[in-house]
Amino acid sequence: MTSPWNGHGPRITRRRLVGLTGLAALGATTGCGGGDGGGGGEGAAALRFSWWGNADRAAATQRAIDAFQAANPGTTVAGEWADFTGYFDRLATNVAANDAPDVITLGGAYPREYGDRGALLDLSEVADVLRLDRIDAAALSNGEFSGVQYGVPTGVNTYCLVVNPVLFEQTGTALPDDATWTWEDFERIAAELSAATPEGTYGAVDPTTADALDLFSRQRGEGLYTEDGGLAISAATLEEWWTTTLRMSGEGATPPASLTTELLADAAPEQTLMGRGLAGMMLGWSNTLPALRAASGQPLQLLRAPGESVEQPGMWLQASQLYSISSRTEHPEEAARLVDFLVNTPEAGRIVKADRGIPTNPDVLEAVLPEFDDDQRAQAEFIARVTPVVGDALVIGPVGSTETRGVVERLNADVLFGRTDPAAAAEAFREQVGQAIGA
């Protein structure tokens, strides 16, 4: 999933999409929700714009909002933000109550979840205002479902490996050749790092996430989901994964089960093992780099994931987040104008920079690149390096797939604590996720 504290990625999920089943009644028409019904006079529009993140993101976003309002007199924008944990719960409640923000930040499977229930605007209805012709096609496809464009990418990133070269240097361990290394190499290097560092420092963070399973299974020609909304990952692949990660935990290459599960409670960068300088490797999203570097004070680097090959790459380019518009907004054109400003103007690009991924409009990227700091430039250079060798576009999860994250976390804890074995966890995953998506 994309990281909760930056902007992310591809499969933004949460434990339960409260109230979503009531969205079908909303239809695809405009109505009484989505704002306060207007601003301070004839032709005025008052918009609400929601996103998740931290205070730094909120401050930058407010500067972009101020710039938009200056360029669009008569339109006011009220920002609404929360941390990742509470954002989707609050959004689901608001949407079910016909009180959705006009412009909504989404990610992963959420555009499909909301779009299929009529809660999002078909962006073809505002095509004369919201320009999509300069947006990267692969990233743009992340917001299209059933032939309808429901979201516009805020930027692009990729799921990859974050490494701390200082720990490698201190232990005399060579950084891997990320064009050739395997998962066996990953396990070996993690064990070597753990053995050569003080107690409490680990070669790798436990790698198990829904995104990691997607990557691992894509390398085996599968992926998590099929194009028609079914389950693609095999029990054999899941068993292989959990057999490896259980062995790594047992040999100390990754943390013990108690620490791995404890870390789930607070995924803020400064609380992660990588952010605290206590891990050599961690699978994650490329746009986590600045926050992790700032938290750790270390010159962290990005590498291709283990097991990538020319024949069957698992990595993919993904919209970090998506801007969508409520189908019930009273101001669709003004909302579309806000989204267009955010993704298509160098002015907004210079404010937001790489906070929501590397800009997908090449004109914006060209204008912003000279102003990138070292962290942002490292992301942009990594994206440019891997773009020619990543795999096909990701198959976004169907309705119900937002439950996958919770399933993975529960089963991973069961495996690591020895409550179930990898084979049984694999079957349970397929059963529980299959039920969630109706497969």
Is residue 13 in a domain? no
**Residue 43 φ/ψ region, left for φ over 0, alpha for ψ in the -120 to 50 degree band, beta for the rest:** left
Global model pTM greater than 0.75: yes
- Other Cβ atoms within 10 Å of 266 Cβ, number: 12
End-of-domain residue from the set 339, 355, 384: 384
Quick one: pLDDT at residue 111? 87
Quick one: pLDDT at residue 23? 37
Tell me the residue range of the domain where 248 lies: 158-316+396-437
Across the chain, which has 439 residues, the per-10-residue mean pLDDT values are: 38 33 34 36 80 92 98 96 89 95 91 90 97 89 89 94 97 95 97 96 97 97 93 98 98 97 82 96 92 95 94 91 97 98 97 91 93 93 92 86 94 98 98 94
Same domain, 131 and 71: yes
- The tokens for 391 are 């795999």
Same domain, 431 and 359: no
Same domain, 58 and 166: no
Q: Report the C-alpha gap between 352 and 60 in whole angstroms.
A: 6
Question: Which segments of 283-325 does DSSP mark as H helices, in order?
Answer: 289-296
Q: Quick check: helix, strand or coil at residue 17? A: coil
Is residue 246 in a domain? yes
Q: Report the C-alpha gap between 325 and 214 in whole angstroms.
A: 28
Same domain, 416 and 297: yes
Same domain, 131 and 200: no
Is residue 349 in a domain? yes
In the chain, the number of structural domains is: 2
Edge-to-edge strand list for the sheet holding 152-153:
75-82, 45-52, 103-106, 322-325, 152-153
Same domain, 378 and 400: no
Is residue 10 in a domain? no
Is residue 4 in a domain? no
The CATH code of the domain that includes 427 is 3.40.190.10
Quick one: pLDDT at residue 402? 86
Same domain, 299 and 212: yes
Same domain, 245 and 299: yes
Same domain, 266 and 284: yes
Quick one: pLDDT at residue 195? 97
Q: Report the C-alpha gap between 437 and 10 in whole angstroms.
A: 18
Same domain, 247 and 183: yes
End-of-domain residue from the set 384, 413, 428: 384
